[in-house]
Structure 1
Amino acid sequence: MMMNVILILVVVLLATVIIWLIRATDNNNLEQPKLDTEPIKDVANDEPSLFVQRLPILNNQQKVIGYQLIVNSTVESITTQTGHFNALVAMISHYDFAELASDKKAYLKVSADVLENADISLFPANETVFMVDVTNTQSFPLEACKRLHQQGYKFAVLVKNKATLEHPLVEISDYVVIDDRGDSNHLHEWVAKARGKRLRIIVSHVHKQAQFERIQTLGVNGYQGYYFSEPETLDNTRIGPQVEQVMQLFNLVSSQAPADVIEQAFKVDTVLTFNLLRYINSAGFGIRNEVSSIKSALLFLGYEKMARWLAVLMAASDDMKNDAQEAVFEVATIRGRLMELLGDEFSEKEQDALFMTGMFSLLDTMLGMSLEKAIANLQLPEDAVAALLQKKGRFYDVLSLAIACEKSAMSDILPLAEKLGLTLAEVNKKQLLATQWAHSLQAG
């Protein structure tokens, strides 16, 4: 009898637990109220369609002071500013914020309602500048902006017209951003007015060196765009002695000369040896035991890997003719590393050659001479030469995709990625990995 009672109690207890679990599941399946019409969760689940673009912002000394982070997508839902912000949040949940901005300030374009309603705690206050469009806002959330400003967030007002500079947000802003694609007369007028308010002025969409030189005369503080990587003046006829020496070493390594011959050639310049070993031992390579000599470096790395590090050393040379050398070096190292990562289907030897192709694709900008003349004295694989000079061949598709990634040209990225058998998510991840690698290389 007692056993029957116990059995009944167990059955009742199990039934109660099952009913409770069913109700809990039903409650979890109920749609929860959303603050925004484009939920962050949906964007995060759609991460394969997201693509991050980093637009560098340089100061008058041609140093990178920050990046505007833009998320592009094949999904319609993020075409609004709220959707774009949610996409940024989704991206940060996948990748480290400091790495996305290379430990510099991140400039994020947001709408007024995002500042009032969204949770922005994921964005570090001291590293974030919100770029705000204050036009077409019926009731601007100024008090919310003041609270954020007190927390350490900075603001940059997007100047669309003269009246923008009279908006109340200007009073607590550190920057204004003026688009150079409009009337140049307006640019002069708006810059003068902003200077009168003691605001730091950033001009956006600066893509040519001549454009930069024209704007610089106005007394602005920052320039957004890839103008520094576009070769404009290619009249230099002489390669500096340091670059020439690295080229000679590169050719020795590329031709697989005996280790003793290569080591002897390095002894001519102890600084060169030190710099190469510093790069090899940097976080960018990830080796555990320090490499202390050229011979051990050659034995450890092999000829192909040694050649790629000489390409890095060449790009970092003081002989380079570009005023924005640091920025160009970063673009070159990201492009080289990205090409290597995109070449999954290539052999390891070819991946090393892809890296060098990316690095040397900016040699005309670095040296101030035509690319044909710049690489004339280098022993490069045929596929690399075909990609760089003839714009064709197996390497050229990879180079084209890497350049499209810099410009975030989605219409080019998608077909090129498909041609290489890659998804947009894979390309995006490889681009961010390349960025992290280049950052660790510069950090030493």
Structure 2
Amino acid sequence: MRKRKRSAKTGRRVVVCAALALCLCGCQVPRPELPVVGEKKTESRAGGGYGAEGGAAEKGENPGGEMGWKDAPSSYAPQVRTETIRLAGEGEVQVPQEAALPAYRVVNEPYSEAEYGRYKEIVREIYGISWKEGERDAQGEFSGDGMYYLSFPFTDVSKDKTAILWIDRMDPNLTFAGDGEYQPDEGFRLLVSRGEAGTEEEREMLRQRLEEKSEAFIRRLSEEELCSGAFVRDEVRWLGIRTRNETTGKWEQGRYGLELVYERTCGNVPVPGREPTLMGKPGSAIQYIGFVYADDGTLLELKNIGRQSLEADGGRNGAEKAGEAAFILPFDAAAQIFEQYVRTYDDTRRALPAGGFAESAAAGDGAGTVTAIRFTRAALEYRYVPAAEEEGAEEGGFLRPVWNFYGTASVGQTRAGERSLEGEITPVANGREIILVSVDAADGSIF
């Protein structure tokens, strides 16, 4: 896989006086990860509580370090108002149960030929798809009936170090992909409005059945040592499916499907990387496995992206030795950094990715473009930092503890002195919850 060049991590570094006093504990042996499939969920701990006025915390003992985050408040309600940004909302503060959050080195693990063979056997076992033996091309191979193609562009088979195994159903008359005028989410909503997507009870039964099949597949991978670590269900999304009319040749909306995505965790700590980021650089995902099914349960896509092992990485977050408990920035300090960054953020310089972001530019007649942000939650999680972003590193990357602040956002116009948006309002990322800001838990810098 061709590596995208990334600049070194930049961002405003905010000096937080007492918050950055190092508080280290003794050497910790990293707990082995368990091959568990579950829902994305972290536990909240009660704490001082945040009021709605200005987002100020009730201060208490919170020195950071191994257990410092256990004193995080149970909820948080920031309020920031500038000429270009409105931030409000309230949500819980989610912290993990782990005794420590050391930094890790992520090492890529490509598949061997023997492992590739076991992978195909599991696909046959779960989905009934067999493969044409001995008829492999440089990028993959077809199933025996020619309906599926398994590509392996980034495994040992093609002499690369990033593992990707991707199965597509080769049906030229069916697609769930979006384009400039059509989005699968909108297609599904249209079917629901027309009563053509089954009942809610029927969809729930289908979802449960397909989740069971997907999780059985992941468990088999774990049993055969083709993946390591735990996986949590990160996304459940209903999609519109278009089929080509054989008579007219035109694409028509008439079916629906389900997308399920499972992300690998570090122990029980999430490692989000697929969500867009409003302010700062988007993250990168470690291993994730995605499934797309049609409404009759037919597998349309199975993508298994990445395969890594984790090694304790010393010298990070104040840890002197590999596996030592690392310093963790207290939540109240991270919250101050978050609010200050939002308050001073130059909205007009933001690189706005496709998929719902609107251009930010001043409008005439006393009106201006404003980004309205609704905070939903904060969580202490890991962030995967590819090796390209770390000096002296070559392959793989690193897991770093971060405070992620989540929310939804919309872009619209507002008149001078008015609070509400008016005119055409564009939701960011189609209204989905995204990461607003990711704060490095080691030094308070912004990714």
Q: Same fold (TM over 0.5)?
A: no
More helix by share: 1
The structure whose RCO (Cα within 8 Å, separation 6+) is larger is 2
TM-score by length of 1: 0.21
TM-score by length of 2: 0.21
